[in-house]
Amino acid sequence: MGYDWRIGESLPDLGAHSVAKHDIFEQYIKIYIERLTRNPSQTMLNLTIVDGFSGGGLYRRGAAEVDGSPLRLLAAVENVERELNSARAKGFDVKADFFFVDANPYHVAFLRDLLEKRGYASRLGKNIFVHEALFEDVSGNLIAHIRNKGSANRSLFFLDQYGWSDVRLQTIRSILATLKNPEILLTFAVDALIDFLSVKTADAQALLNIDLDREDVRALTELKTQAGWRHLIQNGLYRHVQSRTGARFYTPFFIHSVGAHRSYWLLHLSNHRQARDEMGKLHWRLKNHFQHHGGAGFRALGFDPSKDLRQEVMSFMFDDDAMKRSEAAVLEQLPRMIHAANRDGTGLVVEDLFAGNCNDTPVTSDILSRQIAFLRDEGELLIVAPDGSKKPRTKTINWDDRLVLPAERSLFTRLGWG
């Protein structure tokens, strides 16, 4: 399946799952910029936005024409800038550079024409750059550009490839290792990759692009004999992507594509627990089109091969039911986790609890905070601020608070040991 843009010809159709993806792109930019502009005296933010697989930029959806990722990204920045500008006494300026890259000359011509028609002509070549190139061929220059702009390196990479092999994991690794604050949104057709995996294909260049060698392929395909094998392979691939890109944090969630009969990953890769948390919250807010192929609480991907995850997997859609199950699971898991971490008596810092467990799970800091407060109200734990004071009532749990077992109860009653 592919999209095709040619000036004067009919537009490609946009599926509901792609609209959901564009919503994530647009809303994440808003969240990202708001997160970086909390200081009320700040008047400016420098940022680079890379759309590495931009397409032609316009689709048909029913009777309507709808914008593709380049226009959605531009609009997202304009909207937040407008809001910040009117909210701040001294105004606000988001100095964003946009790079739109596409390998297809017709798509690039279509996009240039579209940007001109939408009033962006004067910005082309100044802070909007359209490149006809393979993303891989320009990634080094893009990294250099971002580094040359200053020391903060604020950058978002939207890498919306068709399949799974057009972005080398090594390239993501160098983005994450070279730049200070990059975040990457990568579409990855994991089911197509799983179907492609076989000992026969083990030497294909596509697999080498994602650093899967003959042995890796053998280990993954061997899982095919076990119950729930597709999920086991997916889990193996999460680990692989994380270790080869060096990303501290990732989201393991899918976009559900009814039309394509396949789900694909929308991976968010970053080195920031807050970035990870915000992306998790966004999935809950947008729901419907997103799926989590795992359980409801922490350690949700079930790396335990003896467990067949298919039951839970089918129904986790970030809806109200999933929320109830997530809250219940956290309530069940937290006592054990805090107890295990409290063996030396120093307590468990909330940040460590979250950062150490957030990758595999749909649990966000909001869900976690509510359940911590609930257990505190039940007398199961104490919340202690960094200055040593106890927090007996607050609903606001901070990252640097510690969770400590009360002295008068050596064990959690919830564990059935009290």
Ligand X SMILES: C[S@@+](CC[C@H](N)C(=O)[O-])C[C@H]1O[C@@H](n2cnc3c(N)ncnc32)[C@H](O)[C@@H]1O
Binding site for ligand X (CB under 6 A): 3, 53-55, 68-69, 101-104, 107, 134-135, 160, 162, 166
Nearer to ligand X, 231 or 268 (CB): 268
Nearer to ligand X, 3 or 399 (CB): 3
- Residue 290 and residue 364: Cα distance in Å, rounded? 15
Q: How far is the CB of 114 from ligand X (least distance, A)?
A: 11
Q: Which one-letter DSSP state was computed for residue 385?
A: -
Nearer to ligand X, 48 or 104 (CB): 104
The DSSP annotation for 137-164 comes to: HHHHHHHHHHHHT-SS--EEEEE--SSS
Nearer to ligand X, 162 or 374 (CB): 162
> Do the Cβ atoms of 211 and 170 come closer than 8 Å?
yes
Q: Which one-letter DSSP state was computed for residue 392?
A: S
Q: How far apart are the first and last CA of the chain?
A: 59
The continuous run of DSSP H or E covering 181 comes out as none
Q: How far is the CB of 90 from ligand X (least distance, A)?
A: 35
Q: How far is the CB of 48 from ligand X (least distance, A)?
A: 17
Q: How far is the CB of 278 from ligand X (least distance, A)?
A: 21
Nearer to ligand X, 102 or 278 (CB): 102
Nearer to ligand X, 108 or 322 (CB): 108
Q: How many CB atoms lie within 10 A of CB 253?
A: 23
- Residue 306 and residue 309: Cα distance in Å, rounded? 9
Output the CA–CA distances (angstroms, integers) from residue 56 to 119, 128, 292, 294, in the order listed: 16, 15, 30, 35
Closest residue to ligand X: CB criterion = 68
Q: How far is the CB of 111 from ligand X (least distance, A)?
A: 9
